[in-house]
């Protein structure tokens, strides 16, 4: 059995659990409740992203690449597949989805990238041994919603199901 398959499934399940915890009735909340909603959505996004990275390794392992654990990008997957004389349609589809700026996968990865961006503002007390920097949370961070994340989760699950049915033949 492919060791990455249950890991991918686990991350998708964790994403689903996190999204179930978001209170859909709290649409315009502030303070701690808003922070909790944001934390749950961001955590779900990161579970999806980890599931995607693990899925790249699952594809490589299915096609019998011996060092799948080193793959961390679709470009790495394609290079790994070429190194063993393979060119799976799954890798090509994933590359196309990443390149298509309007696709669910490109949007997921862009949302992850935006969360990793930090734009420091002015230093509040430079004389302090612990410099305090005001971090302004970008507008983009609030774009994550349960519906959006559930859409990405559903699209990813559909893709995986379709790919796994095809890869059974490998």
Closest CA to 159 of 96, 85, 114: 96
Q: What is the pLDDT of residues 15-65, one digit of tens each?
A: 999 999 987 766 666 778 888 899 999 999 999 999 999 999 999 999 999
- pLDDT for residue 127 is more than 80: no
Q: What is the bridge-based pairing of β-strands 120-123 and 133-135?
A: antiparallel
Q: What is the pLDDT of residues 84-121, one digit of tens each?
A: 999 999 999 999 999 999 999 999 999 999 999 987 76
pLDDT at 141: 46
pLDDT at 35: 87
Q: Name, in order, each residue with C-beta under 8 angstroms of 101's C-beta and a sequence gap of 6 or more.
A: none
Q: What is the model's pTM? A: 0.85
Q: What is the pLDDT of residues 136-149, one digit of tens each?
A: 554 444 479 999 99
pLDDT at 124: 61
Q: From residue 71, give the alpha-carbon distance in Å to each of 57, 115, 155.
A: 6, 22, 22
Residue 46 corresponds to which tokens in the numbers above?
């990161």
Residue 136 gets which letter from DSSP? P
Cβ–Cβ under 8 Å, residues 8 and 58: yes
Extents of the domains making up the chain: 4-167
pLDDT at 140: 43
Q: How far is the C-alpha of 53 from the C-alpha of 25, rounded, in Å?
A: 32
Q: How far is the C-alpha of 110 from the C-alpha of 37, rounded, in Å?
A: 20
């Amino acid at each position: 059995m492919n060791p990455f398959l249950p890991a991918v499934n686990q991350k998708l399940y964790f994403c689903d659990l996190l999204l179930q915890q978001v209170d859909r009735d709290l649409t315009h909340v502030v303070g701690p409740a808003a922070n909790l909603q944001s934390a749950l959505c961001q955590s779900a996004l990161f579970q999806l992203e980890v599931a995607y990275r693990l899925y790249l390794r699952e594809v490589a392992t299915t096609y019998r690449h011996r060092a799948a654990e080193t793959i961390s990008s679709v470009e790495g997957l394609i290079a790994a597949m070429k190194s063993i004389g393979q060119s799976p349609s799954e890798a090509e589809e994933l590359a196309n989805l990443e390149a298509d700026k309007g696709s669910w996968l490109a949007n997921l990865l862009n949302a992850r990238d935006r969360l990793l961006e930090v734009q420091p503002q002015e230093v509040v007390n430079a004389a302090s041994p612990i410099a305090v920097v005001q971090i302004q949370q970008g507008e983009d961070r609030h774009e994550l919603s349960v519906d959006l994340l559930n859409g990405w989760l559903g699209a990813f699950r559909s893709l995986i199901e379709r790919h796994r049915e095809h890869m059974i033949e490998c």
